[in-house]
């Protein structure tokens, strides 16, 4: 049983068999996920279980902490020194022995277990004689990494989290991103920088500020090693808000030999655990349209600091997506970093000139950091069918990309799934992913690829005034300036593209229609937006009346002549 669907189904059935009636369905995940982690840890430690126990007994009275000796002897950076694991626990003295087992883990695992908050579920299982039944079920599945590799285990966790989230009406997309989307994102981020990743002795860092179970980080590492350089030393860093998914991520990092101390718990926005660090590569899928109101005081306070992450502007509190991008930009290396982030449509166009969103877009584009945006097919995610976009941001563009932004319309490059998973009805095949990647790397304009100068996305919002007139139809003058007073009820605004001369635009587009109007240039505001749909719009001629009539008459043949009777009348 090493297929992720088989394992997921087995574990799901365990949950249903053991927990039904004792826990509410939305509570299943709080019990089952920790036991999956414990079983996987046990499978790794089992071959040296007795050796570790003997070493602990030998040294526990001689030195304060035998941890370094044990780790060096077994070649692992975690252990459990108790006599027990899930397969060795019996029904006798279960309460005492189970807690001895949990307390026998090394400190780095104990911290992970604490975030699962198992105390109340365990007491409930013990009180109702279900704990041993649950343990005995988990004995049947082998989750050793040699049997179930990290990639498959990630899929198991994600499938279980999706099901548990659906039962509790939570947003499953907050926990993880579909693998086909992740593979596309990492290929776009890393493929453009092959020269940076090739060669011997390379050490590079990858960071995910919303790392969930760690899938993006591990897939990113796998992609580089499989497609560019198997020998590059990749250091993975992450931060995660949800304690449960944080614990999963940290445990898998521990098992697979990554540094679990690089994974941190807390909000990346208000509790930056990696403050002062910079990274070569950053990849993430921040939660779509999630409010940051609970962190508003902290964010607003930092936005007043000229050296703060959010000084350029803050988006509306109902959607914090652009805050995560600002956070990552603050962690770019001076020598050059690359960022890949999945957004919904809001960061492209929400907010008029002068708004926080527009100011953030202006800052990014005018600094020539925005390299490309890829519009993805809809119905790719498990919890939403909305349209999504991948942004590629870098402070080290290749010469042929400088001063330009590449837009790729990949909305039609997907295939239907045989069976839907939540809202996910489509996926991107390997062939389709390669087509998108080839389009991105070529930088050649096609029906799905456009290259625009940075200025193309900017506009000046100009205030257009008209004179105030009195009841006699006379223009009212300001007593001090002797200029006409503006009528605020007639005030209007024009968006003039940055590449267009404002005076010429006004003379040609406004004056002929409103001869008395003038521009108040002191109120000019420069804004930026990316109207993706407009750039790829293709006009489709309306069907002729004759063609529509023929189709209606064809339908009429199937409706017992009712339409013909109506036409004759």
pLDDT digits (tens, 9 = 90+) for 371-380: 999 999 999 9
Instruction: Tell me the pLDDT band of 175, cut-offs 50, 70 and 90.
Output: low
CA 519 to CA 515: how far, in whole Å? 12
Angle value at C-alpha 73, between 68 and 78, nearest 5 degrees? 60
> What does the pLDDT average to over 182-202?
95
CA 228 to CA 206: how far, in whole Å? 15
What is the predicted pLDDT for the residue at 561? 56
With 50 as the cut, is the pLDDT of residue 173 above it? Answer: no
pLDDT digits (tens, 9 = 90+) for 308-338: 999 999 999 999 999 999 999 999 999 999 9
What is the predicted pLDDT for the residue at 208? 98
Tally the C-alpha atoms within 13 A of residue 65's C-alpha that lie toward its C-beta.
5
pLDDT digits (tens, 9 = 90+) for 531-559: 998 898 877 777 778 888 888 777 767 66
What is the predicted pLDDT for the residue at 559? 65
Residue 433 contacts residue 405 (beta carbons within 8 Å): no
Kindly report the number of other CB atoms within 10 A of residue 79's CB atom: 27
Q: Phi then psi for 418, rounded to 5 degrees?
A: -65, -35
pLDDT digits (tens, 9 = 90+) for 411-439: 999 999 998 888 889 999 999 999 999 99
Of 141-155, 266-280, 478-492, which has the strongest mean pLDDT? 266-280
> What does the pLDDT average to over 43-57?
95
pTM, two decimals, is: 0.89
Residue 469 forms beta bridges with which residues? 475
> What does the pLDDT average to over 170-191?
81
Q: Which residues contact 569 (CB under 8 A, 6 or more apart)?
A: none
CA 112 to CA 115: how far, in whole Å? 5
With 60 as the cut, is the pLDDT of residue 17 above it? Answer: yes
Sign of CA dihedral 256, 257, 259, 261: positive
With 60 as the cut, is the pLDDT of residue 169 above it? Answer: no
What is the predicted pLDDT for the residue at 172? 41
Three-state DSSP at 453 gives: strand
CA 479 to CA 542: how far, in whole Å? 56
Residue indicated by tokens 């003997």: 54
Residue closest to 248 by CA, chosen among 101, 520, 562, 32: 32
What is the predicted pLDDT for the residue at 569? 54
Least confident range from 167-181, 484-498, 545-559: namely 167-181
> What does the pLDDT average to over 294-306?
95
CA 153 to CA 142: how far, in whole Å? 11
CATH of 174-454, one of 3.40.50.150, 3.40.47.10, 3.40.50.300, 3.40.50.2000: 3.40.50.150
* Chain length of the chain: 569
What percent of the chain lies above the pLDDT cut of 90?
Answer: 76
The ranges assigned to domains in the chain are 4-165, 174-454, 457-533, 539-568
What is the predicted pLDDT for the residue at 112? 92
């Amino acid at each position: 049983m090493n297929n992720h669907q088989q394992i997921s189904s087995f574990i799901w059935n365990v949950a249903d068999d053991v927990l039904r009636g004792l826990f509410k369905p939305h509570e299943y995940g709080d019990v089952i996920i920790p036991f999956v982690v414990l079983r996987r840890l046990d499978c790794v430690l089992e071959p040296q279980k007795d050796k570790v126990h003997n070493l602990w007994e030998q040294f526990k009275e001689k030195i304060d902490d035998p941890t370094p000796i044990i780790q060096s002897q077994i070649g692992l950076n975690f252990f459990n020194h108790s006599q027990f694991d899930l397969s060795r626990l019996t029904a006798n003295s279960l309460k005492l022995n189970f807690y001895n087992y949990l307390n026998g883990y090394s400190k780095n695992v104990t911290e992970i277990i604490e975030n699962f908050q198992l105390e109340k579920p365990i007491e409930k299982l013990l009180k109702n004689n279900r704990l041993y039944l649950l343990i005995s079920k988990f004995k049947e599945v082998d989750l050793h990494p040699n049997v179930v590799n990290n990639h498959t285990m990630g899929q198991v966790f994600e499938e279980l989290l999706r099901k548990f989230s659906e039962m509790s009406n939570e947003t499953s997309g907050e926990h993880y991103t579909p693998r086909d989307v992740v593979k596309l994102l990492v290929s776009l981020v890393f493929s453009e920088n092959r020269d940076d990743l090739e060669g011997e002795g390379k050490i590079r860092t990858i960071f995910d500020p919303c790392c969930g179970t760690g899938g993006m980080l591990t897939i990113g590492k796998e992609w580089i090693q499989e497609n560019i350089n198997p020998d590059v030393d990749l250091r993975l860093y992450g931060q995660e808000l949800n304690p449960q998914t944080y614990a999963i991520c940290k445990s898998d990092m521990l098992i697979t030999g990554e540094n679990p101390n690089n994974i941190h718990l807390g909000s990346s926005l208000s509790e930056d655990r990696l403050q002062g660090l910079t990274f070569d590569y950053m990849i993430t899928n921040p939660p779509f349209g999630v409010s940051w109101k609970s962190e508003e005081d902290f964010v607003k306070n930092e936005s007043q600091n000229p050296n703060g992450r959010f000084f350029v502007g803050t988006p509306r509190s109902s959607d914090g997506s652009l805050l995560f991008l600002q956070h990552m930009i603050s962690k770019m290396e001076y020598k050059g970093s690359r960022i890949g982030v999945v957004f919904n449509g809001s960061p492209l166009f929400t907010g008029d000139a002068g708004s926080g969103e527009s100011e953030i877009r202006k800052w990014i584009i005018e600094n020539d950091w925005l390299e490309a945006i890829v519009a993805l097919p809809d119905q790719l995610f498990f919890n939403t069918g909305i349209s999504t976009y991948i942004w590629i941001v870098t402070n080290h563009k290749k010469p042929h990309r400088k001063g330009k932004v590449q837009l790729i319309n990949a909305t039609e490059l997907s295939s239907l799934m045989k069976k839907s998973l939540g809202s996910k009805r489509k996926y991107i095949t390997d062939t389709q992913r390669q087509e998108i990647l080839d389009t991105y790397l070529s930088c050649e304009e096609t029906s799905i690829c456009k290259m625009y100068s940075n200025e193309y996305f900017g506009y000046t919002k100009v205030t257009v005034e008209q004179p105030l007139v009195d009841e006699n139809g006379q223009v009212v003058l300001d007593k001090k300036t002797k200029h006409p007073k503006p009528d605020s009820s007639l005030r209007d605004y024009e968006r003039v593209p940055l590449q267009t001369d404002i005076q010429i635009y006004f003379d040609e587009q406004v004056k002929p229609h409103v001869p008395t109007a003038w521009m108040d240039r002191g109120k000019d505001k420069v804004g930026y937006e990316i109207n993706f749909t407009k750039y790829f719009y293709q006009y489709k001629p309306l069907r002729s009346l004759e063609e529509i009539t023929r189709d209606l008459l064809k339908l009429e043949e199937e409706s017992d002549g009712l339409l013909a009777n109506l036409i004759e009348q």
